[in-house]
Amino acid sequence: MIKLLLPRQLVNRPSAPDEQRPFAQALPQAFERAYPLLRRAAMGSLPISLFGLLPSIFVLQVYDRVISRSATATLVALVAGIFCFLGVEYFLRARRSRALRNAGATIDHQVSGALLASLMRRPLRVLEARPTSAWLMLFRDVSAVRGTVTGGLMSAIFDLPMALFALIVIGIVAWPVLPVVLVFLGLMAFLAWWWADEVRAGRVEETARARDLDRIASEICRARETIKTLGQDAPVTELWRRSYDDWLTESFRKNGELENAREASTVLLTVFSVLAVTAGALAVTDQLMTVGSLMAVNMLAIKALSPVAGLATNWRLLARASEAAQRLETVLSEPVERADSGLNLPKPTGRLLLADVSFTFHENARPVFEGLNLQIGPTGLHVIVGRNGAGKSTLAKLLSGLYTPTKGQVRLDEYDLAQFSRGELAPWVSTLSQEVYWFSGPLIDTLRRTAPGQTDEQIFAACRLSGAHEFIARLPDGYHTEVGEGGAGLSVGERRKLALAQLFLRQPAVLVLDEPSNDLDFASEAALIAALSAVARQRTVIVVTHSLRLVSAATQIYHVRGDGQVEQGPPAAMVPRLFGVQRPLPAALPDMPSQAGVPA
């Protein structure tokens, strides 16, 4: 019964594990774990259902045995008995609720964990395909699925046997009213089924609009500074208002229908009471049943109808959970990144080779690179230049193994990057992306998370090298300063220096930095060039930049032409042609700091 009503994606039997889709079975596996708890709750529901009939039996006895015979002693015994049973019922109900709560927590724990793990193990290209709001919504979907086992829906399902027991008792003590009860039960069941379909049909549209609204709200929250600086309050408010109105109209219409349905069911229950009492009164007049049965039948009929009414009002929850489960199943069934290769390789020298590499974002899009052959390193400061949109960041991501070539191979030493997982590659090839996100919390904790096991001295050395140490030392709490979400409380340049320190801490064979001198002041850029030049003596350093000073310090320059090809040469030949100056800037600037402290 439970399995018939819950979302199909949850109750399906888990199939054999698939290496490419390790999280595809997360929903049924979670349900399988939670099922013993649900079964325990279902078992506990049988006595609860029986106890649920006792108040009506009590009323029947009071009318037929106590009042007519003035039997006070019987009344005392009945009251004592009913209180005992109510105490047991309370205990059983608390136990059932706890089992349901635990079942919900099991499902939530399993599915949220799988969702986060599948998020972490997705290739960058797949991650980029969904906006942040869509990912946030998926985490909310887990709560919707959990709600099917913890909410009123499951209690209504478990109380269904009570409906049957109530019907049996009505058949025994008040059979003339039974046809009225059965007709109403059928009517309520039909309404429950009909509303379910209505709800489901309307929810699709409402959900699509709610998603739109979520996306816009999340974008506004992220762009709050831009909105303020550009004074875009009015157009952005208009954009949000339009989406909000769309959603509200749909939700209002849908909720209106549901509320009408709910009100109708309340009125129907009253109509039913009137009809049941009328039928009962006629039967009492004809001496077909007693007054006690008439009083009891009203209570019994409510017990028979309430689980069905509970199902009807909770259909909306079930419809939402079904859609949520469908979305989760789709996302969790998507293939993830390659698993660890298990190869235990010596630390690479840092020579990168692109062999006949082509890369396209989409099937019908113009290729960003076509048949590219390049060799970079080992060691040296390699600078990638080119106009905006030429493909510099794309090349950097290909070299880091973040993007996989559509055709050809990117090799580190003699190994194809495509055969390694991101986890295996990260210690060899570390990347500083164009946009830096700094996690909230004490600075030292975020730094240490990059390279667990590093001593404080190693962390300080990396920060000295990136130029972060100076400003950290000036903060009142130094390395223990609490930073806000996304690095709030730090300047953009400071965040970049911290991100650089993280990169240095990992001590990889290859460092790929996308526009690292953006946001840095003149002296900090000079210090960065000195640090990178020093690191480049032992490691391969690849930098995407528009900075003439950084370009001038390069060992080799790679010009991404924007036609799918890359040309290369030393600064002396490339700088005058690409930057319109007579020669590269002098290598050593007077204010460059010492290069001590370069991690080995």
Ligand X SMILES: Nc1ncnc2c1ncn2[C@@H]1O[C@H](COP(=O)(O)OP(=O)(O)OP(=O)(O)O)[C@@H](O)[C@H]1O
Taking the least distance from each CB to ligand X, the nearer of 19 and 363 is 363
Query: In sequence order, what are the residues at sequence separation of 6 or more whose Cβ sits closer than 8 angstroms to the Cβ of residue 568?
Result: 374, 556, 557, 558, 559, 574
Nearest approach, Cβ of residue 388 and ligand X (Å): 4
Q: DSSP label at 411?
A: E
Taking the least distance from each CB to ligand X, the nearer of 316 and 392 is 392
Given a contact cutoff of 8 angstroms between Cβ atoms, the answer to whether 334 and 126 are in contact is: yes
DSSP symbols for 91-126: HHHHHHHHHHHHHHHHHHHHHHHHHHHHHHTS-HHH
CA 550 to CA 561: how far, in whole Å? 19
Given a contact cutoff of 8 angstroms between Cβ atoms, the answer to whether 589 and 556 are in contact is: no
CA 373 to CA 284: how far, in whole Å? 98
Nearest approach, Cβ of residue 213 and ligand X (Å): 25
Across 433-572, the runs of DSSP E, i.e. the strands, are 441-442, 482-483, 510-514, 540-544, 556-560, 566-569
Given a contact cutoff of 8 angstroms between Cβ atoms, the answer to whether 120 and 274 are in contact is: no
> SS in 3 state form for 11-46?
HCCCCCCCCCCCCCCHHHHHHHHHHHHHHHHHHHHH
CA 93 to CA 84: how far, in whole Å? 14
Nearest approach, Cβ of residue 380 and ligand X (Å): 21
Nearest approach, Cβ of residue 542 and ligand X (Å): 13
Nearest approach, Cβ of residue 561 and ligand X (Å): 11
Taking the least distance from each CB to ligand X, the nearer of 391 and 493 is 391
Taking the least distance from each CB to ligand X, the nearer of 124 and 291 is 124
Taking the least distance from each CB to ligand X, the nearer of 276 and 376 is 376
Taking the least distance from each CB to ligand X, the nearer of 244 and 361 is 361
Given a contact cutoff of 8 angstroms between Cβ atoms, the answer to whether 49 and 168 are in contact is: no
Binding residues vs ligand X (CB under 6 A): 128, 361, 368, 386, 388-394
Nearest approach, Cβ of residue 128 and ligand X (Å): 5
Sign of the alpha-carbon dihedral angle for 43, 48, 49, 54:
positive
Taking the least distance from each CB to ligand X, the nearer of 329 and 514 is 514
Nearest approach, Cβ of residue 471 and ligand X (Å): 26
Nearest approach, Cβ of residue 359 and ligand X (Å): 9
Taking the least distance from each CB to ligand X, the nearer of 128 and 521 is 128
Beta strands 415-416 and 369-376 are unpaired
- Written as one letter, the residue type at 235 is P
Taking the least distance from each CB to ligand X, the nearer of 403 and 420 is 403
Taking the least distance from each CB to ligand X, the nearer of 94 and 129 is 129
Return the SS3 of 564: coil
Distance of CA 456 to the CA centre of its chain: 34
Nearest approach, Cβ of residue 451 and ligand X (Å): 27
Q: Rg of the chain over CA atoms, in angstroms?
A: 35
Nearest approach, Cβ of residue 559 and ligand X (Å): 11
Sign of the alpha-carbon dihedral angle for 154, 155, 156, 158:
positive
Which of 90, 113, 88, 98 lies closest to 38, judged by CA?
98
Nearest approach, Cβ of residue 549 and ligand X (Å): 17
Taking the least distance from each CB to ligand X, the nearer of 368 and 444 is 368
Beta strands 566-569 and 556-560 are antiparallel
Taking the least distance from each CB to ligand X, the nearer of 58 and 403 is 403
Alpha helices in 223-232 (DSSP H): 224-230
β-pair partners for 374: 354
Nearest approach, Cβ of residue 136 and ligand X (Å): 20
Nearest approach, Cβ of residue 394 and ligand X (Å): 3
Which of 62, 70, 54, 302 lies closest to 188, judged by CA?
302
Taking the least distance from each CB to ligand X, the nearer of 123 and 441 is 123
Cis check for the bond before 161: say yes or no (omega within 30 of 0).
no
